[in-house]
Amino acid sequence: MTTLLELSGVATGFGSKRVLHGVDLSVPKGSAVGVFGLNGAGKSVTMKTVVGLLRCWDGSITFDGRDITRMGPEERVRAGMAYAPQARQLFPKMTVEQNLRLGGYLLRRSDRARFTATMERVYERFPILAQRRTQRSGSLSGGERAMLAVARALASDPSMLLIDEPSAGLAPVVIDEVFRLLGQLREDGLTILLVEQNVTFGLRLVDRAAVMQSGTVVYEGPVDRLDTARVAKLLGVGRLLGSHLERAVGTKRTKSRPPRGAALKSSPSRRRARPR
């Protein structure tokens, strides 16, 4: 399978504090990859570095065969990336349609016909947003705002969606709806990189999982071959949640039975570099 996104030895941080200590991560084209870890593990920092909101101090980032390590955020959007942040970051006084038009701003400037077709597809996929296109986004429900954040990212017609904590702050019934929508995008062939605190939700959606600790990927591999006991230990969850993880990956295991002796990749520990 062709690799769309490749992180190799990526390090970054804030000021003199180094947060990432050499992150290695691959995202195959057409797949969904989930990044999991405790608070402070570096998940969201990794995402922001990929989309260009944080400067990469060391290492490299390759997207669709191009080195984008020094590219700015706008260039990465033009290359095919779209980012839906955890806090949604909508413009509450603007309407749904105005938020969507901002998401597709670069595409609208370069190819108006493609932008129009993309907006039509977005409204078809999110009919509730089509009904509320003239409504201010600040008046939407939590679930509708979550959908708008994803829809705004899709307005640029990306080849890859990067989404941070899509289930955060949502009721279980709304989480199920978000899961259904993301599952449809995945089935349609959109590549997805997901950061998610709700591990059982995330594992149901993705093909591959990576666990982060202290700014590095310490364990990763296909979901249908995960050592759920080890994942539960790395994430510090109890026995009850560990059983939930096992159920979350159980269906995928029945679809893909690995050969005996198949092993997951365990990332070697790295020496932490001194802060710059």
Query: Taking the domain 1-80+159-268, which CATH number applies?
Result: 3.40.50.300
Phi first, then psi: what are they for 41, rounded to 5°? -75, -20
Do 224 and 233 touch, CB atoms closer than 8 A? no
Encoding tokens for residue 166?
């899509």
Say how far apart CA 224 and CA 227 lie, in whole Å.
9
* Burial degree of 200 (CB within 10 A; 0-12, 13-18, 19+): middle
Residue by residue, pLDDT tens for the chain (276 residues) are 799 999 999 999 999 999 999 999 999 999 999 999 998 999 999 999 999 999 999 999 999 999 999 999 999 999 999 999 886 789 999 999 999 999 999 999 999 999 999 999 999 999 999 999 999 999 998 888 889 999 999 999 999 999 998 888 788 888 888 888 899 999 999 999 999 888 888 898 999 999 999 999 999 999 988 888 888 888 887 554 556 676 666 655 555 544 434 444 444 444 444 444
Domain ranges of the chain: 1-80+159-268, 89-157
pTM of the model: 0.84
Phi first, then psi: what are they for 170, rounded to 5°? -105, 150
Residue 247's alpha-carbon distances to 21, 64, 91, 190, in angstroms, are 32, 34, 38, 25
Say how far apart CA 60 and CA 232 lie, in whole Å.
30
